[in-house]
Amino acid sequence: MSNSVEQQESYDVVIIGGGVSGAAIAANLARYDLRVALLEKSADFGFGVSKANSGIIHAGFHHNLSALKSKLEIQGNLMFDSLCHQLDFPFRRCGIVVAAFTDEEMVIVNELYNQGVENGSPGIELCSHERMLMLEPKLNNDVVGGLFAPAGGVIEPYLYVFSLIEFAQRNGVETFTEFKVSTASRQENIWHITSSDERMMQTRYVINAAGLYADHVSEIFNGEKFEIIPRKGEEYLLDRASKAYPERVIFPVPTPNSKGTLVIPTVEGTTMIGPTAQEVDEKDDDTTTAENMKNIFVLAANMVSGISRRDIITAFSGSRPTLPGNDFMIKISETTPALIQVAGIQSPGLTASPAIGEYVKDLLKISGLTMIEKKSISRTNQKTVKVRFATRAKLKELIKKNPAYGNIICRCENISEAEIVEAVHKGHTTLDGVKFYTRSGMGRCQGGFCAGKVIEIINQETGIPVEQITKRGKGSWLIVERLNEL
Residue window 46-85: x/- pattern of binding to ligand FAD, with contact defined by CB under 6 A: -xxxx-xxxxx-x---------------------------
Q: At its nearest, how many Å lie between ligand FAD and the CB of residue 57? A: 7
Distance CA 448, CA 439 (A): 13
Tell me if 180 contacts ligand FAD by CB under 6 A.
yes
Tell me if 270 contacts ligand FAD by CB under 6 A.
no
- How many CA atoms within 13 Å lie on the side-chain side of 263? 28
Span of 184-192, 212-220, 385-393, 398-406 interacting with ligand FAD by CB under 6 A: 212-220
How many binding residues for ligand FAD (CB under 6 A)?
Answer: 42
The residue among 49 and 455 lying less far from ligand FAD, judged by its C-beta, is: 49
How far apart, in Å, do the first and last CA atoms of the chain sit? 32
The residue among 1 and 56 lying less far from ligand FAD, judged by its C-beta, is: 56
Q: At its nearest, how many Å lie between ligand FAD and the CB of residue 316? A: 9
Residue from the set 21, 171, 266, 271 that interacts with ligand FAD by CB under 6 A: 21
Distance CA 374, CA 111 (A): 45
Tell me if 230 contacts ligand FAD by CB under 6 A.
no
Q: At its nearest, how many Å lie between ligand FAD and the CB of residue 212? A: 6
Tell me if 413 contacts ligand FAD by CB under 6 A.
no
Tell me if 209 contacts ligand FAD by CB under 6 A.
yes
DSSP state letters, 371-399:
--B-S----SPPPPP-GGG--HHHHHHHH
Tell me if 19 contacts ligand FAD by CB under 6 A.
yes
Tell me if 447 contacts ligand FAD by CB under 6 A.
no
- Report whether 351 contacts 16 (CB < 8 A): no
Q: Which residues have CB under 8 Å from 125's CB, separation 6+?
A: 113, 131, 147, 148
- How many CA atoms within 13 Å lie on the side-chain side of 185? 3
The residue among 155 and 451 lying less far from ligand FAD, judged by its C-beta, is: 155
DSSP state letters, 187-255:
ETTEEEEEETT--EEEEEEEEE--GGGHHHHHHHTT-----PEEEEEEEEEEPTT-TT--SSEEE----
Tell me if 1 contacts ligand FAD by CB under 6 A.
no
Q: Taking the CB of residue 446, how many other CB atoms lie within 10 A of it?
A: 15
Q: Say whether the peptide bond before residue 230 is cis (omega within 30 degrees of 0).
A: no
Q: What angle do CA 72, 74, 77 make, to 5 degrees?
A: 100
Residue window 86-125: x/- pattern of binding to ligand FAD, with contact defined by CB under 6 A: ----------------------------------------
Tell me if 40 contacts ligand FAD by CB under 6 A.
yes
Residue from the set 252, 318, 357, 441 that interacts with ligand FAD by CB under 6 A: 318
Tell me if 351 contacts ligand FAD by CB under 6 A.
yes
Tell me if 22 contacts ligand FAD by CB under 6 A.
yes
- Report whether 135 contacts 107 (CB < 8 A): no
Q: Say whether the peptide bond before residue 265 is cis (omega within 30 degrees of 0).
A: no
Tell me if 212 contacts ligand FAD by CB under 6 A.
yes
Tell me if 210 contacts ligand FAD by CB under 6 A.
yes
- Is residue 58 flagged as an active site residue? yes
Q: Where are the beta strands (DSSP E) in 408-480?
A: 408-410, 415-416
3-state secondary structure of 140: coil
Q: At its nearest, how many Å lie between ligand FAD and the CB of residue 73? A: 7
Contact residues for ligand FAD, defined by CB under 6 A: 16-22, 39-42, 47-50, 52-56, 58, 179-181, 209-213, 217, 233, 275, 318-320, 345-351
- Residues with a catalytic annotation lie at 58
